[in-house]
Amino acid sequence: MPVLAYILTWTTYGSWLHGDVRGSVDDGHNSPGHEHLSEDASRHARMRQRLVEPVFWMGDRQRSSVAEAIRDHAEFRGWRIHAVSVRTNHVHVVVSANKAPEDVVREFKSWATRRLREEDLIGARTRVWTRMGSTRWIGSAASLAAAVDYVSRFQ
């Protein structure tokens, strides 16, 4: 099945930890049909204790800057953004790109962080993002339309 696009999701530093009441994903719980990790108060507490900086939440100016950086980087790379939604504690992007989705996430995070620093919207050493993100491959026009609808209307 050819890949038409990816739906990429990542969170801000410390804002959505394993064990959270909302559930979470890890390497073993990150594919269609797999259950998310369920609430686990003791795991959540352990994860919070491991934080070395405050939880990072984005305000309106930061969210706007991140969205613009993502669009600019996609244009620079020749990638097509189908939808982008930057929330206070996470980002969703539906993108067609000629790179592995993990590389696309890494580049988007890097460019967004650089933009936030250039615009003095974060400190020079502020941790902005979690280490990884969710990468899902989209292989049909119907799945692409559903992903765009989800990111555009329900975020």
Residue 154, pLDDT score: 83
Contact, 65 vs 128, CB < 8 A?
Answer: no
State the DSSP string of 17-43: -TT-TT-B--TTS-STTSPPBPP-HHH
Can you give the length of the chain in residues?
155
Give me the domains of the chain, ranges plus CATH numbers. Answer: 5-12+57-153 (3.30.70.1290)
Q: What is the pLDDT along the chain (155 residues), one digit of tens a residue?
A: 679 999 999 999 977 665 565 655 555 545 555 555 666 677 666 766 677 788 899 999 999 999 999 999 999 999 999 999 999 999 999 999 999 999 999 999 999 999 999 999 999 989 999 888 889 999 999 999 999 999 998 87
Residue 25, pLDDT score: 58
Residue 22, pLDDT score: 63
The whole-model pTM stands at 0.83
